[in-house]
Structure 1
Amino acid sequence: MERDMFDTMTFTKVLGGFCGTLLVFLLGAWLAEELYHTGGHGDDHAQGYVIDTGVEEVAEVEEEVPFAELYAAADPGRGERLWRQCSACHKLEDGANGAGPHLFGVVGRDKGAVDGFSYSSTLASMEGDWTPENLSGFIEAPREYAPGTSMGYRGMADAEDRANLIAYIATFGG
């Protein structure tokens, strides 16, 4: 009986030692954080003083190049590498639909006009053609261009990449 009490007592001491050590480390971390980050908490502190250097900060404004110019200078070879993202759902062969409609001759084709493919109601009701600019807008942010589309692609932000991809797709039946 004395042996069991000793084992329980030893276990309690060891557990208490670990808990105490953990507490010391947590308090030390908190104290170190307070010592090294004394600048205040939050963004409500204004700069104490400003040194006038005589130079005004000028924000550089990037001029956005019109998509038509990007498309005119596009490289289909670079677009071929980007095509791999699309090839999981789309095919470039005429009439070969996958999870998405085939893209053979898509540049200049009516929106929602592929026979044998069931478009979402959003794309089926859209009017107009798939011009390079329209394709760029759709590829950039499909869910913003056509809210309710079933296309799960998150989009391609770089306009030059979109131009190269569309130039590559246009070489197939365009």
Structure 2
Amino acid sequence: MIDTMTGTKIVGGFCGSLLVFLLINWASEGLYHRGSGHGYEEGHAVQGYVIDTGEEEGGKTEVAEEAGPDFAEVYASADPAKGEAVFRACKACHKLEPGANATGPTLYGVVGRAVDSVEGYAYSGALRKVADVWTPENLDKFLADPKGFAPGTKMNFKGIKKIEDRANLIAYLAQHGG
């Protein structure tokens, strides 16, 4: 039979175990907290990383250069080798191989391709509202300010400020599958 001392030991064991589990829960909540400021806001995931373009946060950046050169003139003298260097920032989300989608769709054959046309990639639908084909001019406007050109786009990129960098990048992309 169970005497009083044995019963007290059993109840004490359960209480001690409960205390240990509560302490472990408290410690793990402190280490792995999912509240705001740690990648979550009100239980929802937020952007995991930001591609640094050298621009500061806040306010809109000016896209158009006042009294600057025309895109057609700059694109005519674009250097694809310099565009390859600009493409390094794009590699975080895009690939240049056919059918190789990543976070973003493949950029193989993007120049002259129909907008929202890559198989296997779920587009937001915002691009189709502003353009039909990725002409160099449309790509220039999009790369200058993606959210301004196509509000609602899934592309989370601030844009490329210099028109020369955009022209060089588009010339580089035109060499791949165009």
TM-score by length of 2: 0.61
Matched, 1:167 2:163: no
CA deviations on 1:53-108 (whole Å, 9 max, x unpaired) are: xxxxxxxx963211111111000010111110001100000000000000111000
1:129 to 130, 133, 137: 133
Aligned-partner SS, 1:96? coil
Gaps of 5+ in 1: 1-60
Residue 128 of structure 1 and its aligned partner are, at CA, apart by: 1.5
Distance 1:127 1:144 in 2: 13
Distance 1:98 1:160 in 2: 26
Judge conservation of contact 1:142–1:154 (CA < 8 Å) in 2.
yes
Taking structure 1 as reference, are residues 109 and 85 closer, same or farther at Cα in structure 2, changes over 3 Å only?
same
Gaps of 5+ in 2: 1-64
Residue 125 of structure 1 and its aligned partner are, at CA, apart by: 4.4
Taking structure 1 as reference, are residues 162 and 127 closer, same or farther at Cα in structure 2, changes over 3 Å only?
closer
Matched, 1:94 2:95: no
Taking structure 1 as reference, are residues 157 and 86 closer, same or farther at Cα in structure 2, changes over 3 Å only?
same
The count of corresponding residues between Structure 1 and Structure 2 is 114
CA deviations on 1:17-53 (whole Å, 9 max, x unpaired) are: xxxxxxxxxxxxxxxxxxxxxxxxxxxxxxxxxxxxx
* 1:10 corresponding residue in structure 2: none
Q: Give 1:96's aligned amino acid.
A: A
Higher Cα radius of gyration: 1
* 1:149 corresponding residue in structure 2: 153
Distance 2:84 2:116 in 1: 24
1:67 to 56, 65, 71: 71
Residue 142 of structure 1 and its aligned partner are, at CA, apart by: 0.3
Distance 1:101 1:62 in 2: 32
Matched, 1:103 2:107: yes
Residue 124 of structure 1 and its aligned partner are, at CA, apart by: 4.3
Taking structure 1 as reference, are residues 119 and 73 closer, same or farther at Cα in structure 2, changes over 3 Å only?
same
Taking structure 1 as reference, are residues 118 and 78 closer, same or farther at Cα in structure 2, changes over 3 Å only?
same
Judge conservation of contact 2:116–2:125 (CA < 8 Å) in 1.
no
- Identity among equivalent pairs (%): 54
CA deviations on 1:111-143 (whole Å, 9 max, x unpaired) are: 111111000121244442100010010000000
Distance 2:110 2:151 in 1: 20
Aligned-partner SS, 1:123? coil
TM-score by length of 1: 0.62
Q: Give 2:140's aligned amino acid.
A: S
